[in-house]
Amino acid sequence: MRLGGGPGWLRLTLIPDDAREDTGPPAHLYLIARPGMIALWDTDKVVPHAWDLALGRVPQKQLTPTPHLKDAILDAVAAPSDDRIVYLSFTGADGEAYIIAHQLFGQRGNLVLGDAHGRRLWSAHPSPHPATLDPPPTPITAVEPLIAPDFRQAGPPRLYESLRTHTVDRAGTALRRALETAIRHRDNLARDLDKADRGDEARHDGETLAIHLHALTQGADEVILTDAEGLECTIAMDPAHTPVENMEGYFKTARKADRGRETIAERFETASGRVDKLTALEVELTELLAGDIDPLETIPEWRERNADLLGEAPRPGMKRRIPDVTLPFRRYRLDDRWDVWVGRHNKENDELTHKASSPDDWWFHAQGVAGSHVILRTAGKPDQVPRSVLAKAAAVAAYHSKARTSGLAPVVYTLRKYVRKPRKSPAGTASCIREKSLMVEPRIPES
């Protein structure tokens, strides 16, 4: 079996056994769990390339399920009679049993990969429904005459409409936000330019105050004076400042206006030009949507071509964000049996401790220093973990902490069900009870 997919979807390509006679083309199972589109169907044809791009396809090697399901064999398909979940059971190339549970309810559904012990290895969305990790019911038989043709017929059109709506909405939202930002920036510069143009007025008021400075006293909100040309004028004053300070304030404003007027005028001209270009893009987008070419082909190219104007181009030296579909957590294998998972940052520590792990897994953390949360998976049998394995897991926790360079480091450990996250605490914060401790040398296994 081969895999394709991306955020919220998978395509499982089932290759017929070469030993069989008259083997047909590969069968593709599409499992979709995205907002506005939850579906499952099989087909002998893949969707168009433009659909793949709109879905956000990523390379097979970056998909979390790949190490478990690549070259796996599909053993059975099952579904409970009282819930909308489809279970796909596989035997992996490593001989282990794996299950994909496709949750077909909720606002975005879910895809959950688990092992034979009901442990979650991956899910398309956080916090999967508990039923997705239940043992699969009796396998389904004779699906073909019942609903499979309806699914094949309804799936692709629904997917296309969902992708088209999503693509058009995202383009419109990006353009609207860019235009609103550009207009706001232009208007702010227009106000700054107006202030800069009033620099001559500030200089005039400062010079007038200088003429009458000997006769002025502090405390007035405004004064009425005669300027150098004999004209009467009203000048606002700050009663908290002396007449000299008010005069210097006006001269400072005049000097600042002189320095900034040219720069502000250039920036205002650039900002006005950006507004004009974005306004023209509105017309261009409307024409694209009214044309005969599929928006899934035209709009991505249009967005890429106008990425600078839309504010979507990466900054110099920056890379575009790649969807987080890589393997969660750092992983080790102890004694060819025990799995150890390590959080790589505070957010992942929270996910590992409070969502991905099971209550009867062992939890480790270096004592008294900052470090990763470490989980030793126990398959619900923590008492069967040898002390030597506990020590090795503790060594991993010490290695992934500020105590890495110590000869020996203390590590606390307890069952995960005794670990809590204090209310309103930052990500990665945890407190535990009933903890024990081990003194270990910080190290990681060779595997």
- pLDDT interval class at 137 (50, 70, 90): confident
Burial of 414 (0-12, 13-18, 19+ CB in 10 A): middle
Does 195 score more than 90 pLDDT? no
Among 82-91, 218-227, 315-324, the minimum mean pLDDT is found in 315-324
Does 387 score more than 90 pLDDT? yes
User: Cα separations (Å) of 416 from 132, 362, 365, 374, 430?
Assistant: 21, 6, 11, 10, 11
Instruction: Summarize the confidence of residues 311-336 as an average pLDDT.
Output: 65
Q: What is the pLDDT of residue 194?
A: 79
| Rg (alpha carbons) of the chain, rounded to whole number | 33
Cα 360 to Cα 351: distance, rounded to the nearest angstrom: 16
Contact yes or no for 2/70 (Cβ under 8 A): yes
- Residue 82's SS3 state is coil
Cα 212 to Cα 209: distance, rounded to the nearest angstrom: 5
The Cβ-side half-sphere exposure at 270, using a 13 Å CA radius, reads 8
306-314 CB contacts, 8 Å cutoff, 24+ apart = 306/281, 309/178, 309/274, 309/277, 309/278, 309/281, 310/174, 310/175, 310/178, 310/281, 311/174, 311/177, 311/178, 311/181, 312/174
The domains of the chain, with CATH numbers, are 2-141 (2.30.310.10), 165-310 (1.10.287), 330-440 (no CATH)
Q: What is the pLDDT of residue 399?
A: 95
User: Tens of pLDDT along 168-177?
Assistant: 999 999 999 9
- pLDDT interval class at 192 (50, 70, 90): confident
Cα 342 to Cα 404: distance, rounded to the nearest angstrom: 14
Decide which of 160 and 148 is more confident.
Answer: 160
By C-alpha distance, which of 194, 77, 53, 84 is closest to 140?
77
Does 18 score more than 70 pLDDT? no
Decide which of 142 and 41 is more confident.
Answer: 41
Does 243 score more than 90 pLDDT? yes
Does 359 score more than 60 pLDDT? yes
Does 212 score more than 90 pLDDT? yes
Q: What is the pLDDT of residue 15?
A: 84
User: Tens of pLDDT along 273-323?
Assistant: 999 999 999 999 999 999 888 999 899 999 989 999 998 866 555 454 444
Q: What is the pLDDT of residue 114?
A: 92
Query: Which residues make beta-bridge pairs with 225?
Result: 233
Tell me what the pLDDT averaged over the chain comes to.
88
User: Cα separations (Å) of 89 from 72, 76, 133, 180, 308?
Assistant: 10, 5, 12, 50, 46
By C-alpha distance, which of 339, 338, 349 is closest to 400?
349
Q: What is the pLDDT of residue 315?
A: 57
Kindly write down the DSSP assignment for every residue of 266-310, as one continuous string: HHHHHHHHHHHHHHHHHHHHHHHHHSSS-HHHHHHHHHHHTHHHH
Does 256 score more than 80 pLDDT? no
User: Tens of pLDDT along 47-72?
Assistant: 998 998 899 888 888 888 999 998 99
Kindly write down the DSSP assignment for every residue of 249-274, as one continuous string: HHHHHHHHHHHHHHHHHHHHHHHHHH
Does 44 score more than 90 pLDDT? no
Does 403 score more than 80 pLDDT? yes
DSSP 440: E
- pLDDT interval class at 146 (50, 70, 90): low
User: Tens of pLDDT along 91-101?
Assistant: 999 899 999 99
Instruction: Summarize the confidence of residues 242-257 as an average pLDDT.
Output: 90
130-133 CB contacts, 8 Å cutoff, 24+ apart = 131/80, 131/83, 131/85, 131/101, 131/103, 132/85, 132/101, 132/103, 133/101
- pLDDT interval class at 141 (50, 70, 90): low
Does 45 score more than 80 pLDDT? yes
- Residue 236's SS3 state is strand
By C-alpha distance, which of 152, 170, 172 is closest to 45?
152
Hey, what are 118's tokens? Answer: 């009901």
H/E segment holding residue 75: strand 73-78
Other Cβ atoms within 10 Å of 181 Cβ, number? 14
Report helix, strand and coil shares of the chain as percent, to nearest 5.
Answer: 40, 25, 35
Does 113 score more than 70 pLDDT? yes
